[in-house]
Amino acid sequence: MCGIVGVVSTQPVNQLIYDALLLLQHRGQDAAGIVTQLGYKFFMHKAKGMVRDVFRTRNMRALPGNCGLGQVRYPTAGNAASEEEAQPFYVNAPFGVVLAHNGNLTNAHALRRELVQTDHRHINTESDSEVLLNVLAHELGRASRGAVLQVEEIFEAVRALHRRVRGSYALVALIAGHGMLVVRDPFGIRPLCIGRGPDGTVMAASESVALEGTGHRFERDVAPGEAIFVTLDGQIHARQCADDPRHHPCIFEFVYLARPDSVIDGISVYRARLNMGEALATRVISTVPPPDIDAVIPIPESSRPAAMEVARLIGRPYREGFVKNRYVGRTFIMPGQAVRKKSVRQKLNVIASEFAGRNVLLVDDSIVRGTTSREIVQMAREAGARKVYLASAAPPVRYPNVYGIDMPTQEELVAHGRSVEEVRQLIGCDALIYQDVEAMKRAVGALNPTLAGFEASCFDGDYITGDVTLETVAALNAPRSGAGDDDDSAAGTRLTLPNAQEV
């Protein structure tokens, strides 16, 4: 998951894109970038770091123009340490195209080979997003028949792109002098929505919070397989470009990735978390008798709605027991296990009085590597808790993810190959209660019965795009295993473009 935004306006868009990226910061903390267009020229600045650190006043001043794109990156392909893989990406032909991507391609290796050997394109990084951009550019080139691209030709190119590309891809792209292209993959795995401002500004973004927080009205989600082209004067053209679109959004968006104030594919993320809490409460009651629980305590931040609902339904008090240092980012999306582990204690501190002599039920939204829960259970015990029970609003994460969540290997997942009892022993709690997979799907699915289903491979091992099996996942993720553990690892010797560039 990364955060992407694209804007077409009649006013300068640099500050607007910056503000939208701040609202999407929870989706990617590693790198950030903005590209704007003035006339036929693109202006770009991108670098590693959080939005506030990447853009200084001088960088913002160097981003003129009334349309542009932005991205915050959470690396899931290529090299996490590489500055060159920050997005957006640029190619000069045809016309000049820049692109920002959220997702992960499952056939990036094969596409890379094809692009180089058959299409004679040059790929300069290990990023799958650069591969995606080159497929788009190549197909735009093939579809264009005159000096100016026609909207139908753009849709023809997207149809061809859907046939070549596998995996998850929500993208925004600018075609120089033409307008903005917005595309969602045929399964709608990663979120993407579109809206308008009072002055007619059109904005597409990963989450509705980016629209609302910048004063835009959410209009709709982009449909799976759909392409939307926004001309520079704000006219919107939309077309279904996939042969067989089926709507299976990623369920982990509702568990953890998205902000609770966003609505994705008609489902309020907050309500989804409450529903997961409701389903979890039933399992808690059948495992630990509520009178044995003195307090229900969330592990901030993402588990709060679920924990509140568990407390209400089991009839025990909801208490805050951990205070989050708001200046430390989300630990799960940090690159490298060492930094993730260190950050848990930096990020969360106990309120000792809530634990001393009590039996506590800690609730988290998910347990992935077990980094958070192991530390937290220990902290609760150090603070004097008598019994420490732990409940997870999501089922055990047992399978790697290939669609844009950085869980490349089974071995790193604490629940992989272990029974619930073995996980409990490893985490060190007195009881461990997991959500059930079907109950989770029902809890979220009840909020939009029109969906075909969910992409839930990390829970059920079912890879929705059909081109990936558990056997092929390892090969697919091989370059990512351990990625980020060594922040000094360089991308090899390759052409490095300057950061602030007029491209």
Ligand X SMILES: O=P(O)(O)OC[C@H]1O[C@H](OP(=O)(O)OP(=O)(O)O)[C@H](O)[C@@H]1O
Catalytic residue IDs: 2
Site string for Mg ion, 245-284 (x = CB under 5 A): ----------------------------------------
**DSSP code at position 256:** I
Nearest approach, Cβ of residue 244 and ligand GLN (Å) = 23
Nearest approach, Cβ of residue 254 and ligand X (Å) = 12
Contact between 93 and 141 under an 8 Å Cβ cutoff? The reply is: yes
Nearest approach, Cβ of residue 128 and ligand GLN (Å) = 5
b/e for 63-78, b at 16 or more Cβ within 10 A? bbbbbbbbbbbbbbbb
Q: Is 302 annotated as a binding residue?
A: yes
Radius of gyration of the chain (CA): 23
Q: Which is nearer to ligand GLN, 28 or 277 (CB)?
A: 28
In this structure, which amino acid lies at residue 50? M
Q: Is 119 annotated as a binding residue?
A: no
Q: How far is CA 405 from CA 2, 28, 48, 157, 388, in A?
A: 9, 11, 19, 28, 29
Neighbours of 215 (CB within 10 A): 14
Q: Which is nearer to Mg ion, 86 or 367 (CB)?
A: 367
Least Cα distance to 65 among 36, 103, 104, 35 occurs for: 36
Q: Which is nearer to ligand GLN, 330 or 358 (CB)?
A: 330
Q: From the list ligand X, ligand GLN, Mg ion, none, which binds 457 (C-beta under 5 to 8 Å, kind-based)? A: none
Q: Which is nearer to Mg ion, 168 or 302 (CB)?
A: 302
Q: Is 430 annotated as a binding residue?
A: no
List Cβ neighbours of 489 (8 Å cut-off, separation of 6 or more). 79, 81
Does 12 sit behind a cis peptide bond, omega within 30 degrees of 0 on the bond before it?
A: no
Q: Which is nearer to Mg ion, 181 or 255 (CB)?
A: 255
Nearest approach, Cβ of residue 152 and Mg ion (Å) = 46
Residue located via tokens 């394109």: 121
Give the residues lining the site for ligand X (CB under 6 A). 256, 299-302, 330-333, 364-373
Assign 3-state DSSP to the chain and report helix, strand, coil percentages, each to 5: 35, 25, 45
Token digits of residue 344: 């848990």
Give the residues lining the site for ligand GLN (CB under 6 A). 1-2, 73-78, 85, 101-104, 127-129, 404
Nearest approach, Cβ of residue 255 and Mg ion (Å) = 10
| Residues 302 to 361 in contact with Mg ion, rule: CB under 5 A | 302
Residues annotated in a binding site for Mg(2+): 302, 364-365
Which residues are documented as binding site?
302, 364-365
